Amino acid sequence: MKDSGKITKVFPFPGILTTCDGSDAIVWVDTNITQGGCAYPITPTTNMGALYQLAIANGHKNLWGESLQFIEPESEHSSASACEGFALAGGRVTNFTSGQGLVLMKEVLFTISGKRLPAVFHIGARALTSHSLNVHAGHDDVMAVSDSGWGMLFAKNVQDAADLALISRRAAEDSYTPFMNIQDGFLTTHTIETVRLPEKELMEKFTGKPEKKLLNLFNPHSPVMTGVVQNQDSYMKGKIAQRDYYDKVAEILQNAFDEYYQLTGRRYGFVEKYRLDDADYAIVAMGTASETAMASVDWIRENQNIKAGVLNVTSFRPFPKKEIVYALKNTKALSVIERLDIPLAADNPLTAEIKSSFADALINELKDGDSQKISRIPQIYSGVYGLGSRDIRPGHFISIVKNMLEKNKKFFVAGVQHRLSIDEPFDPDIRAEGTFCMRGHSVGGYGSVTTNKVIASLVEEIFNLNVQAYPKYGSEKKGLPTTYYLTVSKDPIRTHSELEHVEFVPINDVNAFLSGSPLWGISEGGMVFIQSSKESPEEVWNDIPEHARKTIIKKNIKVYYLDTVKIAREISTRSDLQQRMQGIVLLGIFLKVTPLKDEAHFTDDALFEGVKHSLMKYFGKKGEKVVDENLQAVKRGYYEVMEVPSSVKTEFKQHSIELTIL
């Protein structure tokens, strides 16, 4: 296809443009291509199992018209065993797990790989419970099972998670090797992003009908004994002979990457190089941090004139020794950052394998025999970051590069104060021009998280913009403070960090000013919305603490208010939905006060048509009445929200002044 003189390649399956989180993406793929799932619920992959079961309950069939099956046994260990049985019987099976659940499976993972069963398990990588429990992102769970003979692919965002679900399935079945498709817990599993989901036709073509691809070892007409006992005469022979399978995995995976690119235009590989061709300094990472690093090195190059680059390691198993050495060998230094810490090891696992790869290359022993012998090894720094979803931000990457420039700490930590810390108190706003960010401060159970998802979906569908929406989940649930984030941009959104540079701050309870700093990082001329039952702007203003009022005046921030609780009570006929519906009112307020509608030249009618479509996506299954009530809530928020006028916004409380006069 020719476009402005350039020849643009057209790919047959560009994907279905939509918004969803990493869990939705996996369920979209696996309810279409698998025949069954066996899983035990564990945060943050519970959603995947629940949505898979929901599809079954709704009578969903896979692409070949087969009914799906789901088994939820009594533990993750049993769920892995159930998958083993399913796969032995020639079924295409899936599993969703995380953290302790994955570690509990470990015994079974070896038998699945040993029997060459090409299952694919989807992992929401989560920190393991050690000194305390944490349900958020960590890589110690997946690294704890990295010796079990499985392929391991890491997604850096929702798009990767969807695509790698197919690529890992194809590679698994072509190589008779099970694969884990890994995404960061919550940071990807629960983050709504703009994504191109694989078309059904693509999935059917790329994976093929299960019965034509898989071996049934439980067929009574062709019986075999599997998983036998072997002694000194045989066991080692079998274990060594498995190398015949493993030696082919890399080539098969490469073929899957290549064919997927030809079909979709989306290129994946063992590693993803970003601005490394001329880089002096490199950051090496896996998962979401890689993409935040990519956005950060753009800023570093432009503002600090340092040639920095990023290597995103997509395939940890098979480990791409050759590709990593080739990508990094010309750098002066590289920092390998890892979302886990194993203090008694020689190094954390990715660092250790990269050092091993360079050592092999130096003595010209790279496996393929086609490597160039290298004469030097770059300085290799190793760092720990993001344990339990500890925020990793552009400022950290600036510090990591500075640490290499100054030849400072060979082992460091990013994100906490410690003797090994390298953090600098500098965190620039690296967002693309025109990016709009919202950080909401609410209470769990108020519907704000759902509203955030609806807003993200709406913004993508109506305004054709890229979105990223996620809440700062805690283990705690309803009734406690919740923070949620939304980013809207014309450009792809690459940072996976908490939002500290924002334009709009909705606050569901004015008491948020007392327990935190909700105005932190708000831009000059930004906006605040406060849920308030007060009727006059003076009363609303007087409820705001003095320190916050000073910030509002200093930064010329607009203050909006409305009693969304009252509106929700007036609209909803169901008491159980009233609490949640106050969040939906915020959607109307968002549309009113943000510049998106005006920039897109939308009429109110066109806007609300789009709103209804998005509401259908989230509430359609609850019935038309619920959708209509939500739409009414949005409209009331849109038309009834009020602004505290400038004349009211004085630094001192009105009643204080009155007292003085008296």
Partner 1 sequence: METTIINKLNNELIDSGEFDDIVIESYNKGIADKCLAADHFFARSEIPPGTAAKRDFSYIAPDIPEYLASKCTG
Among 53, 100, 111, 216, indicate the residue that binds partner 1 (CB under 8 A): 216
Q: Is residue 416 within the footprint of partner 1 (CB under 8 A)?
A: no
- Is residue 152 a contact partner of residue 182, using CB atoms and an 8 Å limit? yes
Among 215, 342, 362, 642, indicate the residue that binds partner 1 (CB under 8 A): 215
Candidates 48, 71, 68, 66; CA nearest to 57 is 68
Q: Is residue 230 within the footprint of partner 1 (CB under 8 A)?
A: yes
Q: How far is the CB of 35 from partner 1 (least distance, A)?
A: 15
230/364 with CB nearer partner 1: 230
231/575 with CB nearer partner 1: 231
Binding mask 83-122 for partner 1 (x = CB under 8 A): -------x------------------------xx------
Interface stretch with partner 1, choices 30-38, 226-234, 295-303, 616-624 (CB under 8 A): 226-234
149/518 with CB nearer partner 1: 149
Interface stretch with partner 1, choices 52-60, 188-196, 228-236, 584-592 (CB under 8 A): 228-236
Q: Is the peptide bond before 318 cis (omega within 30 degrees of 0)?
A: yes
Q: How far is the CB of 206 from partner 1 (least distance, A)?
A: 20
538: tokens are 């003076």
Give the number of other Cβ atoms within 10 Å of residue 655's Cβ. Answer: 10
Tell which positions 194-213 bind partner 1, by CB under 8 A. Answer: 211-212
Interface stretch with partner 1, choices 130-138, 221-229, 274-282, 605-613 (CB under 8 A): 221-229
Give the interface size with partner 1 as a residue count (CB under 8 A).
Answer: 28
Q: Which residues of 338-370 are buried (b: 16+ CB within 10 A; e: fewer)?
A: bbbbeeeeebbbbbbbbbebbebbbeeebeeee
Among 1, 7, 228, 514, indicate the residue that binds partner 1 (CB under 8 A): 228
Q: How far is the CB of 210 from partner 1 (least distance, A)?
A: 11
CA distances from 72 to 78, 86, 113, 287, 391 (A): 9, 13, 22, 28, 33
Distance CA 361, CA 495 (A): 33
Among 225, 344, 659, 661, indicate the residue that binds partner 1 (CB under 8 A): 225
Helix (H, G, I), strand (E, B) or coil at 76: helix
Q: What string of DSSP letters covers 298-362?
A: HHHHHHH---EEEEEE-EEES--HHHHHHHHTT-SEEEEEES---TTSSS-HHHHHHHHHHHHHH
Tell which positions 643-662 bind partner 1, by CB under 8 A. Answer: none
Q: How far is the CB of 30 from partner 1 (least distance, A)?
A: 23
Q: Is residue 368 within the footprint of partner 1 (CB under 8 A)?
A: no
Q: Is residue 222 within the footprint of partner 1 (CB under 8 A)?
A: yes
173: tokens are 């079945």
Residue 554, C-beta contacts closer than 8 angstroms, at least 6 positions apart: none
Tell which positions 232-261 bind partner 1, by CB under 8 A. Answer: 232-234, 236-238, 240-242, 244-245
- Is residue 107 a contact partner of residue 77, using CB atoms and an 8 Å limit? yes
Q: What is the DSSP letter of 583?
A: H
Chain Cα centroid distance, residue 515: 28
- Is residue 453 a contact partner of residue 178, using CB atoms and an 8 Å limit? no
Q: How far is the CB of 117 from partner 1 (least distance, A)?
A: 10
Among 8, 67, 75, 219, indicate the residue that binds partner 1 (CB under 8 A): 219
Q: Furthest-apart CA pair in the chain: how many Å?
A: 101
215/616 with CB nearer partner 1: 215
Secondary structure of 173-189 as H, E, C letters: HHHCCCEEEEEECCCCC
244/368 with CB nearer partner 1: 244
Binding mask 41-80 for partner 1 (x = CB under 8 A): ----------------------------------------
φ/ψ (deg, to 5) at 340: -165, 170
Q: Is residue 170 within the footprint of partner 1 (CB under 8 A)?
A: no
Q: How far is the CB of 318 from partner 1 (least distance, A)?
A: 17
Q: Is 53 exposed, middle or buried (0-12, 13-18, 19+ CB in 10 A)?
A: middle
Q: How far is the CB of 86 from partner 1 (least distance, A)?
A: 16
Distance CA 61, CA 78 (A): 25
Among 69, 111, 226, 330, indicate the residue that binds partner 1 (CB under 8 A): 226
Among 221, 344, 370, 417, indicate the residue that binds partner 1 (CB under 8 A): 221
Q: What is the DSSP letter of 67?
A: B
Residues that bind partner 1 (CB under 8 A): 90, 115-116, 211-212, 215-217, 219, 221-226, 228, 230, 232-234, 236-238, 240-242, 244-245
